[in-house]
């Protein structure tokens, strides 16, 4: 494997369901389902905006998705509740395997880049509060070209920005749509299968490598 690794942020490095605890205070047993639907709708809104050519900050997709799921579930969250949930989303935790795996990769002199649909400001803040910002060599945000993954232009921008060939650029993501998008654009890709029950989309574009954690990835790269 080559030495340029581009890590997806939301869902791969950062646990997007870290908001469940805050949701539980308001929704009780319905918190996990609300969190899942919020994440699904957030991605759907980004995809739809990408197709429409109507780019907006990823945080806007997140807020609009929160509003939709609140209406769809009849949860009747207050505006204060929604602001607190959005604030929680800005300080979500990193998965436990992230920091030690990144440290091992740094010791192996692998180039490590955070690559996200989120804005640069939002992602910097998120990684900083999680204590892992300094473990990256660079940060690439889609806002720089105002398109969303899995648009092929986003992956082309990534490897051009890194001055690496597609074949030398490895996307590392827990999101199958991201892995397939990278493969379609000619990049190499690692799927981090964080749940043993998670299926991969049956499109025929399989990841070059599948791991259950970033620890496993670091071990295989050592």
Nearest to 42 by CA among 129, 149, 164, 145: 149
Domain layout of the chain by residue ranges? 4-14+92-221, 17-89
Choice among 8, 15, 97, 178 that is catalytic: 8
What's the CATH number of domain 4-14+92-221, 3.40.50.720, 3.40.50.2300, 3.40.50.1000, 3.30.300.130? 3.40.50.1000
What's the CATH number of domain 17-89, 3.40.50.300, 2.160.10.10, 3.30.930.10, 1.10.150.240? 1.10.150.240
Burial class (CB in 10 A: 0-12, 13-18, 19+), 202: exposed
Each residue's pLDDT tens digit in the chain (222 positions)? 557 999 999 999 999 999 999 999 999 999 999 999 999 999 999 999 999 999 999 999 999 999 999 999 999 999 999 999 999 999 999 999 999 999 999 999 999 999 999 999 999 999 999 999 999 999 999 999 999 999 999 999 999 999 999 999 999 999 999 999 999 999 999 999 999 999 999 999 899 999 999 999 999 987
Active site (annotated) includes residue 29: no
Kindly report the number of other CB atoms within 10 A of residue 94's CB atom. Answer: 21
3-class DSSP assignment, residue 189: strand
Task: Give the predicted TM-score (pTM) of the model.
Answer: 0.95
């Amino acid at each position: 494997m080559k030495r340029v690794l581009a890590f997806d942020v939301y869902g791969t490095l950062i646990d997007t369901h870290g908001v469940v605890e805050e949701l539980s205070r308001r929704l009780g047993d319905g918190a996990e389902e609300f969190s899942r639907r919020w994440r699904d709708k957030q991605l759907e809104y980004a995809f739809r905006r990408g197709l429409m050519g109507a780019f907006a900050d990823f945080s806007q997709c997140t807020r609009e998705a929160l509003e939709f799921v609140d209406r769809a579930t009849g949860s009747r969250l207050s505006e204060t509740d929604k602001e607190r949930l959005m604030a929680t989303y800005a300080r979500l935790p990193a998965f436990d395997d992230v920091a030690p795996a990144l440290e091992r990769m740094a010791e192996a002199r692998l180039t490590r880049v955070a690559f996200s649909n989120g804005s640069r400001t939002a992602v910097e803040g998120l990684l900083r509060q999680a204590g892992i910002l300094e473990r990256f060599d660079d940060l690439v945000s889609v806002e720089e070209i105002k398109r969303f993954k899995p648009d092929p232009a986003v992956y082309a921008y990534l490897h051009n920005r890194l001055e690496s060939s597609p074949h030398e650029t490895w996307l590392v993501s827990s999101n199958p749509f991201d892995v397939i998008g990278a493969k379609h654009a000619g990049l190499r890709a690692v799927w981090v299968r964080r749940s043993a029950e998670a299926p991969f989309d049956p499109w025929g574009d399989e990841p070059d490598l599948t791991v259950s954690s970033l620890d496993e990835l670091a071990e295989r790269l050592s």
